[in-house]
Structure 1
Amino acid sequence: MTTPPSGPYDGSQNPEGQQPPPPYGDQQPGYQPYNQQQQPGSYPPVPGTGAPGYGAPPPGFGPPGAPYGVHPVSGIPYSDKQKMVAGLLQIFLGGFGVGRFYIGDTQTGVLQIVVTVFTCGIGSIWGLIDGIMMLTGEPNDAQGRPLRPN
């Protein structure tokens, strides 16, 4: 009765005289790690850029259609309207909805005028609170783009 080998492979169990496989962790000839393999038609990776095969974009190069930049979290292009201007217009002229008209939200602007007129000016508190929320929050314009900070 024969017993199975219990120790590491030493090549003695190979009757054809083939070379034993390399030990675990050694690299075989022609081996390249997956993250360094070059795809056909691509440039070699540029170290430190994070983008395999293309390198870093040149300075001042931004996405097309976003002349004011993009929001760092959502990636949505910024509006051409400024958050500071909209907030201050809404605080000082909030009873007339001027800040809302500035960002293109005419429906809310008209509602603020109507509420201010029907409440004899008391409804202008809505415009004041709306202006403070514009300055402290992240408001969007009528197209859903975030307002530019400053």
Structure 2
Amino acid sequence: MFCHNCNSQNDDGSNFCKICGINLLIQANMTQDRNISSKNWLLTLLLCIFFGAVGIHRFYVGKIGTGILMILTFGGFGIWVLVDLILIVTNAFTDENGLKLNKNLYRY
């Protein structure tokens, strides 16, 4: 395991870097959190259920262009909304940066 602070090699089971002493477990969690969007999964799901036909959930996650298209086509005549619902429920729906939505209710 490499330390992101000093780039030194550490044993895989190490909790702290042997050179700089930084907590490697906290570093690993911070690195993992960078791959998760700040947009909330549950809110996106609820917006899609109640306002999906006008694409409000897409505006929320930053997909403005496709949100406008959903307004113009009234949710792709319902098909697009259904596809988005399936993607959200299976956690395959992403934000504007391609990051998976945050399922943690207490972190925004």
Coarse TM-score class (shorter-chain normalised):
0.5 to 0.7
Q: Taking structure 1 as reference, are residues 87 and 80 closer, same or farther at Cα in structure 2, changes over 3 Å only?
A: same
Structure possessing the higher relative contact order (Cα contacts under 8 Å, 6 or more residues apart): 2
Structure 1: segments with no counterpart, 5+ residues: 1-44
Structure 2: segments with no counterpart, 5+ residues: 1-9
Shift of 1:57: 1.0
Conserved? CA contact 1:105–1:141, under 8 Å = yes
Shift of 1:132: 2.6
Q: Describe the SS at the equivalent of 2:80.
A: helix
CA deviation vs aligned residue, 1:88-109 (integer Å, no higher than 9, x gap): 2112211010110110001111
Q: Describe the SS at the equivalent of 2:100.
A: coil
Q: Compute the TM-score of the two structures, normalised by the length of structure 1.
A: 0.48
1:133 partner amino acid: L
Equivalence for 1:143? 97
Conserved? CA contact 1:87–1:135, under 8 Å = yes
Equivalence for 1:49? 14
Matched residues, number: 93
Q: Describe the SS at the equivalent of 1:81.
A: strand
Which of 131, 134, 140 matches 2:85? Answer: 131
Hey, which of these two has a bigger chunk of helix by percent? 2
Q: Taking structure 1 as reference, are residues 101 and 52 closer, same or farther at Cα in structure 2, changes over 3 Å only?
A: closer
Shift of 1:123: 0.8
2:23 partner amino acid: P
Q: Taking structure 1 as reference, are residues 130 and 122 closer, same or farther at Cα in structure 2, changes over 3 Å only?
A: closer
Larger radius of gyration: 1
Hey, which of these two has a bigger chunk of strand by percent? 2
Which of 5, 10, 35 matches 1:77? Answer: 35
Shift of 1:147: 1.4
2:32 partner amino acid: V
Conserved? CA contact 1:112–1:124, under 8 Å = no
Q: CA RMSD in A?
A: 3.4
Partners of 1:141 and 1:98 lie apart in 2 by 13
Q: Taking structure 1 as reference, are residues 102 and 52 closer, same or farther at Cα in structure 2, changes over 3 Å only?
A: closer
Conserved? CA contact 2:53–2:78, under 8 Å = yes
